[in-house]
Amino acid sequence: MGYNVRMSAEPTSPFQQHVAAMLAALDPDPAREGLRDTPRRVEKAFQHYTAGYAQDARKVIGDALFEAETDEMVVVKDIELYSLCEHHLAPFFGKAHVAYIPQKRIVGLSKIARVVDVFSRRLQVQERLTAQVAQALEEVLQPKGVGVVVEANHLCMMMRGVEKQNSKTVTSCLLGSFRSDERTRSEFLSLVRGG
């Protein structure tokens, strides 16, 4: 005995209607089973990919601020990030390396990774993402300095256009003592490189 289960193919939101129109323009059989529920799935996925718009870095950090017991550099390396290039809606992904030198406050380490997520879960360019993470931490912590380096692979360069599979983009934002003090900057960059 066979079952003929058909999922709803009718888009229920403007977003889903636009995805359905895109599928109709791209695929000769947009009503086939594999694409039938794609507009709903794509909408749900993009809500997740861009969840950072609904988040505020200050609120994400919340009350995870503590009195500084050190004025030495704090570095969190290899924070995974996933974002969407605002030019092609193609993913870019990689790692963020974040450091700061406390002045009066330190922050729970997991909150640094959450701040990276707040800004990466938006339509982005890597340069802006890097600066936003650094500026948010500077605003909330008011440290002596902040350094952020982001290394990422961009599918818009790998799958289309120049199609360079091994290219990596590196961006940095250095604020406070990371910008003004060459020794601080060198120490941070050495730690990021694994030295």
- Annotated catalytic residues are 85-88, 126, 154, 156
Is residue 94 within 8 Å of residue 168, measured between CB atoms? yes
Residue with tokens 């799958």: 159
Q: Which residues contact 117 (CB under 8 A, 6 or more apart)?
A: 52, 55, 81
Distance, CA of 133 to CA of 128 (rounded, Å) = 9
158, two tokens: 């790998």
Distance, CA of 159 to CA of 23 (rounded, Å) = 19
Sign, CA dihedral 42-120-107-61, equals negative
Distance, CA of 188 to CA of 194 (rounded, Å) = 10
Among the listed residues 123, 144, 120, 141, the one whose alpha carbon sits nearest the alpha carbon of residue 132: 120
Is residue 143 within 8 Å of residue 158, measured between CB atoms? no
